[in-house]
A and B are shown apart, each in its own frame.
Chain A
Amino acid sequence: MGALSFLLLLPLVGAVVTAVLPGGPGAVLPKWSALAFSLATLVFGVVLAANYDNGGGTQFTEDHTWIKAFGAHFALGVDGLGLVMVLLTVVLVPVVIGASWNDADGANTGRQGVFFALILAVEGLALAVFCAQDVFLFYAVFEATLIPAYFLIGSFGSGERRGSAAVKFLLYMLAGGLVMLASVIGLYALSARSGDASYLISDLAELDISTNTGRWLFLGFFLAFAVKAPLFPFHTWLPDTTAAATPGTSVLLICVLDKIGTYGMIRFCLELFPEASRWATPVVVVLALISIVYGALLALGQDNVLKLIGLTSLSHFGFIVLGIFVMNAQGLSGSIFYMLNHGLATAVMFVAAGYLIHRSGTPLLSRMGGVEKKAPVIAGLFLLGGLGTLGLPGLSPFVSEFLVLVGAFEHHPWTGAVAVTGIVLAAAYVLVAYQRAMTGPPRPELAGVGDAVPREVIAIAPLVAVMLVLGFVPQPALDVINPSTDRTLEVVQP
């Protein structure tokens, strides 16, 4: 068994173990088991990263024939892009588990074991997605992530509307995924026609795809990823889902699973269909710009803090997609780095907001006020996440945002100019939200609110640390990213 199989089996085995441990209200065993498995995965992921050679291309590869008739392989491997996503995943999951420590207790099902098992299942499947070197395997695990995510939203979310939010989420994702299925099958037909069918990415890259076919296949993949990412106008599932899910689930969804969308755009859209990608660039860039501005404007007027964070993500995903499709070194590197940083900063915001909601009992900003005085640490964490989101120098998102903007200006001055407004608006929505919820005299409802307990601080601390370190010394991360960026650009640039 290869190192990567082990990496993704670890959380999956953990999920099974956690699910069968005795649950019931008040049980702590499942929680500790889940935490232990996620930490073990983290350690193993970090060890892998330490053994990764920056110049070596795709590494830790393994390849087993899976379904011969389909040409499907169980093939794993990571390059710079994949490694960054793997690291983001293994870092975030322990944080989510720590931050959600008491979330499942209140759920009416009384089965926290299931809650934590689902989180681990999402982790294992997400890791498989980022490591897959075979389109069929990628597709299978890509769709499989939906099931645990769906139950996380539907069974353990908050509020009356969680059921319908879960259905909306699943239907959007399935519709996107099935459109991609048509393209995946199309790839099979092409590959079979040229000899033995194979779904290995490396084999597919060799295929000679005619312009028209390539464009159709590209569209199938792109639509699925645009729904997943999410990109305007496919984003409407996002605010509902974030409002209904627990903050921990939202972290998994937005910070890990949605990255599959932008990851897929690079891995499949750009690398397999370079001609079609160039053909689609003008439209995609416009959609990305709309996402940036529109998401920010919606966030500005949003009262529900969870929806607000969801909408800021719409804006940020606009940046990421923009960076990918301007197709130059700065833009693409910036995007990949942005995928990492957005995960960190947004997770901090979600988790801090979760702490706050836990105490005040409402997600509405207008019902909060003066939290600063009552819970300075939580307010501070929220501000830190927010400042990261708006791109304050010294925090890691700044570096990536800067790179993307440079890439955008290089693509076309106007593109850069419009994108910059997104930054301005970001400053507005973060600071306005902070002001409304945190400053001023404390509202009477908040009388009994206490500050963060040590567990909550410990859970979030690693994220803050990574954000600060990468903010001042981003070079190690960029060293991992740049070689794989160059390789992609070689394929896609005319």
Chain B
Amino acid sequence: MLVVLGAACAGVLVEAFVPRKARFLSQVVLSLASLATAFGGVVYVATQLTSRGDGKAFGTVAAEGSVAVDGPAVFAWGLILLIAIFGVMLFAERRLEGGVSAFAGQAAALPGTSDERRVSERGLEHTEVYPLLLFAVGGMLLFAAASDLLTLFVGLEVLSLPLYLLCGLARRRRLLSQEAALKYFLLGAFSSGFLLYGIALVYGYAGTVTYAGISEAIANTPGDRGLLLLGIGLLAVGLFFKVGAAPFQAWTPDVYQGAPTPVTAFMAAATKVAAFVALLRLFDVAFGAERWSWLPVFWVVALLTMVLGAVLAIAQTDVKRMLAYSSIAHTGFLVTGILGTGAVVTGDQITTTTAVLFYLVTYGFVTLGAFAVLTLVRDDAGEVSTLAGWAGLGQRSPLVAGVFALFLLSLAGLPLTAGFTGKWVVFAAAMTADAWPVVVTAVLTSALAAFFYIRVIVVMYFAQPRGEGPTVAVPGFLTTATIAVAVAATVALGVVPGPVLDLAAHAGEFIR
């Protein structure tokens, strides 16, 4: 984590001192190298974890109780770093638009002004995006491992602020992009407010901000819990906003649509990992003893999120928006997985933590791949994301359409793809906790959700293109590699999920 943040700072220095021509290359190399080093570090840390207590959880609480280095945290770190590496690769793709990246030349130049024309003529670009991404990644790492409420809050802000900026930097459709960034920022600031207020209330109740301390306080203080419950509620609001769970999902479609597609890919995959691990840790470790008062809320949130995501996705005519709503539905499935926390687990049964971690892996790679494909399909005005514009893609470029169809089928949860095994584990986790009404609803919404994934396939394969139809840009090496890895992961996790599943199971429980 320090490596990433350090590299981010180094990136700022590079931005300041390295001549403009060399900046792009040095930034990309620096980012990739630091992420890879950090990944190596995570693997090393993973082998050094020591078992604690009953043997189910291992790791230590570092930095005076503010950061927990345990199985799930290390697992999440590895995943976030992997996604970030591919995120950088997508960011660095310059071949698609004739040698420039997907980001605006100079964000301050107003769209359509002479300023902007001058900037693009000079071929300027924001190489700041790489340090920004690194800062976001650093925030995510902190967020996923936060073991006290203040660290949680710091992590959240460090991850969010760069994302707000990145969202507004699209080269094409600047206004939409800037609007998305503004919306994200305003709503994000609201949610931070909720979170902060929640932290204050919980501190007021427990007199401490560490998770272990809160858990102890809950166990030792019978009686009036009004303050605690209110605090939990507000914290939940803040975190549900971050993961995009209903009824706090409203920002998702606009931001996903408006942000530059590489940013969307990175954000959709990585933020979800960090936020869900943080959510799970907070509610399991700190509020675990109070489970029976917050689980019903999660039931409702899971139901609402799935149904809302699936129903609204049907009405979408834009592929990016459709994927955004689909991500809301998937958030619902993940929350369904959390419902398993109350279950009595025997033997080597699937636990909630295993299920959610594994689902995050499957979802992360599929999402990354799907958005990467989105960057390829374009016409004169840039990326084509309207559904009608995709008509006939299956005949023009069978390979790209086939790959996208694979991702869609995986999102729909067809067997032998990653999406199916992922869905299976979260549903199984919920089922062991007897949450079968939610599982049945989840299954029905999956059927509903299948409709809009299939509609895209229908458009790609069975519809005749209107006029010219979309063309597929030939991607550079970096994008190709990203897509190839995503495809391989989708198939491998569908057919032989065993190793990753074992890894997720091996990550064990959260330490307390």
Contacts and interface: CB of A to CB of B under 8 A. Distances in A.
Given A140-B420, A196-B347, A185 B450 contact: no
Contact of B447 (A69, A174, A186): A174
A192 B501 CA distance: 17
Contacts of A192: 346-347, 349-350, 432
A185 B421 CA distance: 11
A163 B463 CA distance: 8
B260 to A, nearest CB: 32
A68 B446 CA distance: 25
Interface stretch (A142-150, A278-286, A340-348, A423-431): A142-150
Given A67-B498, A154-B458, A178 B424 contact: no
A185 B431 contact: yes
B451 interface: yes
| Main secondary structure on A side of the interface with B | helix
Interface in A182-211: 182, 185-186, 188-189, 192-193, 195-197
A166 B462 CA distance: 10
A224 to B, nearest CB: 11
A67 B415 contact: no
A388 B98 CA distance: 66
B505 A162 contact: no
A69 B350 contact: yes
B451 A171 contact: yes
Contacts of B216: none
Nearest to A143: B415
B447 A189 contact: no
B348 interface: yes
A167 interface: yes
Nearest to A136: B424
Interface in B23-80: none
B154 interface: no
Interface in B454-479: 454-455, 458, 461-463
Which 5 residue pairs across A and B have the least CB separation, nearest first? A163-B462, A140-B415, A175-B447, A143-B415, A189-B431
B39 to A, nearest CB: 25
B386 interface: no
A197 B347 CA distance: 9
A179 interface: yes
B263 interface: no
A178 B444 contact: yes
Given A188-B428, A193-B432, 9 more contacts: A67-B496, A139-B415, A140-B420, A143-B414, A144-B416, A185-B428, A185-B439, A188-B431, A196-B348
Interface string B390-415: 00000100000000000001001111
14 contacts: A67-B496, A68-B348, A69-B348, A69-B354, A69-B425, A70-B424, A70-B428, A166-B458, A167-B451, A174-B450, A182-B427, A182-B439, A182-B440, A197-B347
B190 interface: no
Contacts of B427: 181-182, 185
Contacts of A170: 450, 454
A182 B450 contact: no
Given A143-B415, A171-B451, A182-B436, A68 B498 contact: yes
Contacts of A144: 414-416
Contacts of A139: 415
Contact of A163 (B458, B501, B505): B458
B498 A69 contact: yes
B497 interface: yes
A171 B431 contact: no
B463 A193 contact: no
B450 A171 contact: yes
A281 B117 CA distance: 75
B502 interface: yes
B414 A186 contact: no
A141 B424 contact: no
A258 B243 CA distance: 41
B295 interface: no
Contacts of A493: none
B175 interface: no
Interface string A66-97: 11111000000000000000000000000000
Contacts of B446: 174, 178, 181
Interface string B101-129: 00000000000000000000000000000
Contacts of A302: none
B443 interface: yes
A109 interface: yes
A171 B454 contact: yes
Nearest to B409: A147
Contacts of B346: 192-193
Contacts of A140: 415-416, 420
Contacts of B413: 178
Name the residue among A66, A139, A155, A185 with the largest chain B CB count within 10 angstroms: A185
A151 interface: yes
